[in-house]
Structure 1
Amino acid sequence: MENDLVRLRIEKYEEEVWQFNGDGGKHTPRYEHFLVGRFLTTSVVYFSAMQNTMANLWQPLGRVLISYIGEKTYLFKFYHKLDIDRVINGALWNFNNHLLLSRIY
């Protein structure tokens, strides 16, 4: 195997970059329907309780994936446009009386 590796050479054809799109050239964004939110509180926010409560409040048609980013900040990924629109246009959201500030991405 070492002998095979020693004989490897870069040819001019190997410098070309080829890109393939499996969708026939139609590019769809990988990141859509995201909210980044932060709770205004000095208290501890218990992730699993917040996750269950927010999912129950929002009752998404698709689903919502909630990830902890840090410092009481969370990433909310919605899998249906109607779900994120309903959350954005809905009431002010809170968990345990801690206001959720959010920004769409």
Structure 2
Amino acid sequence: MFLLTGGVMENDLANLALTDEEEEAFEEDAAVVDQNLNLCLVGCCLTDSIVHFPSFRNTMADLWHPLRGICISDLGDRRFLFQFFHEVDIQRVLAGTQWFFNNHLILFHRMKPGENPSLVHLLLTEFWVQVHDLPIGLVSETMAKQFGDFLGKFLEYDLSSWLGSSPSVMRF
């Protein structure tokens, strides 16, 4: 055990300063973090229950099985940061179906540089909607856009849904 007395140590601590090189290193680290956020999603489980993080992390990593791996961090309050290491992996997750954990929907937001993962709004998700038994004259992309904008925001129309066996079904 060492005992340091006031005078010398206080003067040394008072005179501590970062050199220009050390300050530049911190600026570069911030740029790397912003660049890495381009391959990050922040997500949350829609539940009031506690989410067991180790189970959640293992389940999602096993489901997605990204080519270059994934790092999943617990941000607290059922909010998680998913860091991917290749654009293909993040696109595959975003383009996939709705994702659930223990029957609870997971909402995602793709991070942009400068965003704080703890503060982004996680309020929206995308759903495919099918409308059945429509008169043939109403099965059109224009009508799908109207339905979609009425329900939320129209994103895409699946023309193949009515080219098949049932012309009275529209998927958007």
- TM-score grouping bracket, smaller chain normalisation: 0.7 to 0.9
Question: Quick check: which one's helix share is greater?
Answer: 2
Opposite residue 40 of structure 1, the aligned amino acid is: L
Corresponding residue number in structure 2 for 1:51 = 57
Task: Provide the aligned C-alpha RMSD in A.
Answer: 2.1
Q: Secondary structure at the match of 2:37?
A: coil
Question: Quick check: which one's strand share is greater?
Answer: 1
Which structure has more relative contact order (CA 8 Å, sep 6+)? It is: 1
Q: Secondary structure at the match of 1:91?
A: coil
Which entry has the higher C-alpha Rg, 1 or 2? 2
The CA deviation string for residues 23-54 of structure 1, in whole angstroms up to 9 with x for no partner, is xxxx8724321000010001110000000000
Q: Structure 1: give runs of 5+ residues left out of the alignment.
A: 3-16, 21-26
Q: How many Å apart are 1:56 and its aligned residue?
A: 0.5
Q: Structure 2: give runs of 5+ residues left out of the alignment.
A: 1-7, 9-19, 25-30, 112-172
Count of matched residue positions in the alignment of Structure 1 and Structure 2: 86
Q: Which runs of 4+ in 1 moved over 6 A?
A: 17-20
Opposite residue 41 of structure 2, the aligned amino acid is: L
User: TM-score scaled to structure 2, two decimals?
Assistant: 0.45
Cα distance in 2, alignment partners of residues 31 and 74 from structure 1: 13
